[in-house]
Amino acid sequence: MGKHVLLIEDEPNIIEAIRFILERDGWTVSTHSDGADAVDIVDREGPDIVILDVMLPNRSGYDILRDLRAAEGTAALPVLLLTAKGQSRDREMAETYGASRFMTKPFSNQEVLDSVRDLVAS
């Protein structure tokens, strides 16, 4: 397969866990942990899917998502949004900003894997 996943997340242990899960399934995983230049990284790397944490240093995941959706090249890019806050308002925000899917931490590994597969396949 070799499809490319870009993981934007600042928690090293979570990065390691997700990388392990996805690489074992045959995905190429690159990571980034700063919100400030996340949009540029997405443009440069051109991943098949982005896994985006909401609570990032310097810039919120929602802002990054809004920019991605506003740009032509990434308007339809599958984005899986991760948040640790898990309040209902966060789900609404995710829908408003155009997340392809929304997951609350702590997540199940299988669920992450299934979501990534679904989003890329469709």
Partner 1 sequence: MVPFDLLVAVCIGYVIFLFLVAFAAERRADAGRLGWLRSPLVYTLSLSVYCTAWTFYGAVGYAARSGLEFMTIYLGPTIVFVGWWWLLRKLVRIGRAQRITSIADLISSRYGKSNLLAVIVTLLAVVGTTPYIALQLQSVTLSFNVFSAAAVEGWQVPDRTATAFWVAAGLTVFTIVFGTRNLDANERHHGVVTAIAVEAVVKLVALLSVGIFVVWGVAGGAGDILDRIDASPIAEWQGGGGRWAPLIFLSAAAVLTLPRMFQVTVVENSDERHLATASWAFPLYLFLMSLFVLPIAVVGLSTLPAGENPDLYVLTLPLAFDREGLAMLAFLGGFSSATSMVIVAAIAVSTMVSNHIVMPLWLRLRTGGASFSGDVRTVVLRARRFSIAGILLLGYTYYSFTGGTEALAAIGLISFAGLAQVLPSLLGGIFWRGATLKGAAAGLVAGFGLWAYTLFLPSFEGTWLMPAAVLAEGPFGIGLLRPRALLGLDTGDPLVHAMIWSLGVNTLLFVGISLVSFPSPMERLQGAQFVNVFQHSSGPGGWVGGSAAAEDLSVMAQRILGPRQAQALFQEAARAQGKEGNLPDPTPDFIDWLERELSGSVGAAAAHAMVGQITGGAAVSVEDLLAVADETAQIMEYSSRLEAKSRELSETAAQLREANDKLTEISIQKDAFLSQISHELRTPMSSIRAFSEILRDSRELGPAQFQRYASIIHDESLRLTRLLDDLLDLSVLENGQVTLHEEPGNLAEILDGAVTATASMATERPLAIRRERSAENVAIYTDCDRLRQVFINLIGNARKYCDAAAPELRIVVRTTADRIEVDFEDNGSGIPEKQQSIIFEKFARLSDQSAAGSAGLGLAICREIMRNLGGSIAYLDAGSGTTFRLTLPRRHVRHAA
Structure token digits, residue 24? 């074992």
- Binding residue for partner 1 (CB under 8 A) from 1, 70, 75, 84? 84
Q: Is 109 in the site for partner 1 (CB under 8 A)?
A: yes
Residue 66, C-beta contacts closer than 8 angstroms, at least 6 positions apart: 97, 98
In the complex, minimum distance from the CB of residue 61 to partner 1, in angstroms, rounded to a whole number: 12
User: Token match 């408003």: residue?
Assistant: 96
Q: Which lies closer to partner 1 via its Cβ, residue 18 or residue 68? A: 18
Helix axes 61-70, 38-45, angle to 10 degrees: 50
Q: Is 87 in the site for partner 1 (CB under 8 A)?
A: yes
Distance CA 42, CA 1 (A): 20
In the complex, minimum distance from the CB of residue 30 to partner 1, in angstroms, rounded to a whole number: 19
Q: Is 13 in the site for partner 1 (CB under 8 A)?
A: yes
CB 9 within 8 A of CB 53: yes
- Binding residue for partner 1 (CB under 8 A) from 104, 117, 118, 120? 104
Distance CA 35, CA 38 (A): 5
The footprint of partner 1 (CB under 8 A) covers 10-14, 16-18, 20-21, 24, 55-57, 84-87, 104-110
